[in-house]
Structure 1
Amino acid sequence: MITNLAKSVQAFTSNVYLVTGDRTVVVDPGANFDVTGAIRSRVDDLDAVVLTHTHPDHVGNLDAVKDAFDVDAWGYDASIEGVDHAIGDEEVVRLGDDEYVALHTPGHKDDHLCFYAADAGVLFAGDLVFQNGSFGRTDLEEGDRATLIESIDRLLERIDENLGEMHTGHGPSVTRDPYDHVELSAQMARQV
């Protein structure tokens, strides 16, 4: 089961996904709210924290979650403070009950990962793409529009047209034709 713990939070934060099952993980612990309390209200323990990328709005709560649950954090670049273990491009990770392939998708930030479970039809898109054709900012440090477009194209080549759910770093999850939203993001990123 996937729950967005930041859904009703008014602070500046990313979405925070609690994925329960065989391996209970948090995808991006967010920032500026009591995420440990939100986690504890739903589960007793965590197996890991998995990061789409390390912008402050996605990892501000990282130390608090690691301390509260005595877990390690996994992300693309283990040389970044707070990231304990590297997840390589194309590496398979278990989130909840499903196997996800990690896709290195820079352009918004160099260490950006998307996680895609083909069998479950689920995508964690981080800040690469959002609903209605929106896409990640490229005006921040490490942002690059051409690289972002390449990453969106790579994602489109990997995901299935029958994708069931896309969970984004900000805004609502997309459960109605999410593939079309990714296609639109690819088009919109080229027009700006």
Structure 2
Amino acid sequence: MVENVAQGQQVFTSNAFLVTGDRTVLVDAGSEFDAVAEVRERDAALDALVLTHTHSDHVGNAADLIDAFDVDVWGFDADHELVDHAVDDGRSVRLGDHSYEALHTPGHKDDHLCFYAADPGTLFAGDLVFANGSFGRTDLAEGDRDVLVESIESLRDTVSPDLAEMHTGHGPSVTGDPYSHIEAALRAAKF
């Protein structure tokens, strides 16, 4: 099961997805809200924190989560102070009851990862793409529009057109034809 513990927060934060099952994981920590209380409210025993990237709105609550649940942090950049374990492109990562492939997708930030599981057809897209053809900013440090386009093309070529759900770093998750939202983001990013 996937639940956004940041939903409804009225602060500048990313989404933070609690994925429960064999290995209960929080995908991104969010910021400026009590993520520890949100996880505890769901009676979850957190096993790990997995980061799509290290912008402050995605990692702001990380230290509190680490302290409260004594969890390790997984992310692309092992040199980042919060990351305990490097996740390389193509590596398999267990989220809940399923194995997800880590996809290195820079362009928004150099350490950006997406996580994709063909079965059950789920994508954690971070800030690479969003609902309705939106895509991640490239005007921040480490942003590069051409690299972002390449990453979206790679994502489109990797995920199945039958993708069932896409959980993004901001805004709503997409359960109605999420593949078309990736295609729309690619068209918009190329424009």
- State the TM-score, normalized to the length of structure 1: 0.99
For 1:45 and 1:129, the matched residues in 2 are separated by 30
2-side partners of 1:4 and 1:97: how far apart?
A: 17
Gaps of 5+ in 1: none
1:40 aligned residue = 40
Q: Which moved more, 1:125-134 or 1:43-52?
A: 43-52
* Equivalence for 2:91: 91
C-alpha distance in 2 between matches for 1:177 and 1:8: 24
Question: Residues of 2 paired with 1:173 and 1:37: CA distance?
Answer: 22
Distance in 1 (CA, whole Å) between partners of 2:160 and 2:89 is: 19
Q: Does 1:57 align with 2:57?
A: yes
- Note the residue ranges of structure 2 that are not aligned, 5 or more in a row: none
Within a 5 Å distance, the mapping from 1:6-155 to structure 2 comes to 6-155=6-155
Q: Following the alignment from structure 1 to structure 2, what is the Cα–Cα distance between the partners of residues 123 and 115?
A: 6
Q: CA deviation at 1:45?
A: 1.4
Instruction: State the TM-score, normalizing by the size of structure 2.
Output: 0.99
Encode CA deviations 1:51-88: one digit per residue, 9 max, x unaligned. Answer: 00000000000000000000000000110111111001
Shift of 1:44: 4.0
Letter paired with 1:19: V
Distance 2:182 2:118 in 1: 15
Distance change (3 Å), C-alpha of 1:182 and 1:44? closer
Aligned length: 191
Alignment match, 2:171: 171
Amino acid at match of 1:76: F
Matched, 1:184 2:184: yes
Is 2:148 the partner of 1:156? Answer: no
Identity %: 64
The one-letter code matched in structure 1 to 2:33 is F
